Structure 1
Amino acid sequence: MEVTNTELLLLLGKLYVEKEVLIGKTVELTAEVGELRARNEQWQRAAE
């Protein structure tokens, strides 16, 4: 099976976009974890 340069470039572009999407999701999840940790600390202080 022969693959053209154009097909490889399209695939590379798709992979780049997917990488950027995953980076964005990682940033969102990291922020969410930070918020949950802060809430957890508040709850622990309130429970003391």
Structure 2
Amino acid sequence: MSAMEKLVWNVLGYAAMPLIFLFGFIAVSVAACLILMWLDKRKG
């Protein structure tokens, strides 16, 4: 592997982790809101 390739893979690897955490957090937040809204609708 060339130095350029190694650099690209390092950048991708370090960028992927926070993005995965961020998208996971957003997905959980949206799911929680939808479930709470649905439960509220059922109750009322």
Report the TM range for the smaller structure's normalisation. Answer: 0.7 to 0.9
Q: Which has the larger radius of gyration?
A: 1
Residue ranges of structure 2 left out of the alignment (5+ in a row):
none
SS at match of 1:25: helix
Deviations 1:13-48 (A, max 9, x none): 2111022112101100100011011101101101xx
**Runs of 4+ displaced beyond 6 Å:** none
Equivalences, count: 44
TM-score (norm 2): 0.75
Residue ranges of structure 1 left out of the alignment (5+ in a row):
none
CA RMSD of aligned residues (A): 1.5
TM-score (norm 1): 0.70
